[in-house]
Amino acid sequence: MTDTTSPRVALVTGGSGGIGRAVVERLAKDGFAVGVHYAGNKAKAEELVAQVTAAGGRAVVVGGDVADEHAMAAAFDAVETAFGGIDVLVNTAGIMRLGPIADLDLDVLDQIYRTNIRGTFVVDQLAARRLRTGGAIVNFSTSVTRTQFPSYGAYVASKAAVEGITLILARELRGKDITVNTVAPGPTATPLFLDGKDQAAVDRLADAVPLERLGRPEDIAETVAFLAGPARWVNGQVLFSNGGLA
């Protein structure tokens, strides 16, 4: 049985910016205590924690390379020490580097895979061992696994792997009452998405969506909040939060 009386606790990787920040803000608004993880920008994570606590919420800063199992174990330890346990892992941490497959520097490929595949595997492994009954793991993919835009080859390959990890882990956690799902955003107005794109490219992607706009980080956070909270019968799924992008 899920414990609905105790405040729930979430750890959000990549929680210091973009979609991660919106997820932290939404979960804190929903009453979660939140571990705000950062890899390279401690100041932004600290500012967000100050914002959450000033509004009456509870949050702590934790850091570390998501691909480093020791650093992430320490992050889990810190959240558990602060709040007594962890119920939800939201893994928004990721990197995107674009380029044609024929020309991509293989060092860039290794960087993408280290963060997006190994990083997801490391934090999911820790979550599988440590989340409380009634918990939820929410990973992140991309709608480009279906739209197959050129130049996204390495990034899409890494996110297809994330979807595979999700589907297997959901079945491996049979009997633990822990759900495992992936959110696959479409074009969303974040620095990660906008970096390197001119206005014409941004406009084309916005026009490709039937709702005729880019997604907002808050749109994606709403999907995460659903999976982290009431969506106990949604498990082993990839949810496309993309405004109807084909």
Q: 38, 113, 152, 155: which is the annotated catalytic residue?
A: 155
SS3 category, 105? coil
Q: Where are the domains of the chain?
A: 9-241
Q: What is the pLDDT of residue 5?
A: 52
Q: What is the pLDDT of residue 135?
A: 98
The domain 9-241 having CATH identifier 1.20.1250.20: the answer here is no
Q: Round to whole Å and give the CA distance between 202 and 237.
A: 28
Identity of the residue numbered 14: G
Q: Round to whole Å and give the CA distance between 46 and 49.
A: 5
pLDDT in tens, the chain (246 residues): 444 457 899 999 999 889 999 999 999 999 999 999 999 899 999 999 999 999 999 999 999 999 999 999 999 999 999 999 999 999 999 999 999 999 999 999 999 999 999 999 999 999 999 999 999 999 999 999 999 989 999 999 999 999 999 999 999 999 999 999 999 999 888 876 777 677 888 888 888 888 989 889 999 999 999 999 999 999 999 999 999 987
Count the neighbouring beta carbons within 10 Å of the beta carbon of residue 10: 30
Q: Round to whole Å and give the CA distance between 53 and 55.
A: 5
Question: Does the pTM exceed 0.75?
Answer: yes
- What does the DSSP 8-state code read for residue 149? -
Is 155 tagged catalytic?
A: yes
Are 239 and 181 within 8 A, CB to CB?
yes
Which long-range contacts does 102-108 make (Cβ < 8 Å, 24+ apart)? 104/153, 104/154, 108/154
